[in-house]
Each structure stands twice: as C-alpha cells, then as structure tokens.
Amino acid sequence: MAFALVPTLLLLGACKAPPMDEQEAVGTHAQKAAEEAAAPADTTGKATEAPPVGNCDATQVQSLIGQAYTDNIGAQAQQDASARDLRVLKPDDVTTMEFVGERLNIELDEKSVITGLRCG
C-alpha cells in the first residue's frame, strides 16, 4: 500500500502552486505594465501630462442662442467667454474631436442662427 501512495504523492507534488514570492512578483510586474500602458506618451515613449483644461467659459455667452451669427457677434462671444480661439461649426462641417480648452465653438443651423455655444 505504501508503494501506491508514493506515485500519488509525487504527482500531487508536481502540481503545487509557485511560491508566493514569485506570484507577487508576477502580479507587481503586471500592474506596472498596465499602468505604463494606460499613461499617455510622447514619441519617445515618455509619459506626458494631461493637457490643461483652459479658461474658456461658454456659460457667459449662452444668451446668444437663437441670434443670427455675424463675425462681430463671434468676436464679442470669444472675448466674453475668455476664449483664445474661435471655431464656427455649420451643418455638415467636418470637425476634429480633440478638446481645446481655450477654444469657443459656435454651432449654427442651416440659416446661420446660433444653436449652441461650448468650449472645447
């Protein structure tokens, strides 16, 4: 009977888990790799900081919704919203999706009436 237990014990010994130190090292390495992958990086692979949000404040110009757009209204809205840049968006305009915290977007309908103002 003792001869029957020896092969069983050998098989069970081969199936044991790696030591905890090795498991912790693998877990730590995986966590570090996940954090590095999630961080934005420049072309050299160095992590970069998030872009500044900016100081554009579209709440200051919401009263313009419903008015016909003119260049003068756009310039005044840009100044009132403390925006560095201005982008006028007409129906069917192709736009980029990047967020620029210093930019005021004025959205127009097909009759050039202001339908929305937002920063970004």
| Residue spans per domain, the chain | 2-38, 58-119
Note the pLDDT of residue 61.
96
**What's the pLDDT band for 9 if we cut at 50, 70, 90?**
low
* pLDDT tens digit sequence for 28-81: 666 666 666 555 555 565 555 555 567 899 999 999 999 999 999 999 999 999
Torsion (CA) 40, 118, 72, 87 in degrees, nearest 10: 40
* pLDDT tens digit sequence for 11-29: 666 555 555 566 666 566 6
On average, the pLDDT of the chain sits at: 79
CATH topology of domain 58-119: Trypsin Inhibitor V; Chain A (3.30.10)
Nearest to 107 by CA among 118, 99, 98: 118
Q: Is the pTM of this model over 0.85?
A: no
Report the percent of the chain where pLDDT is more than 70: 56
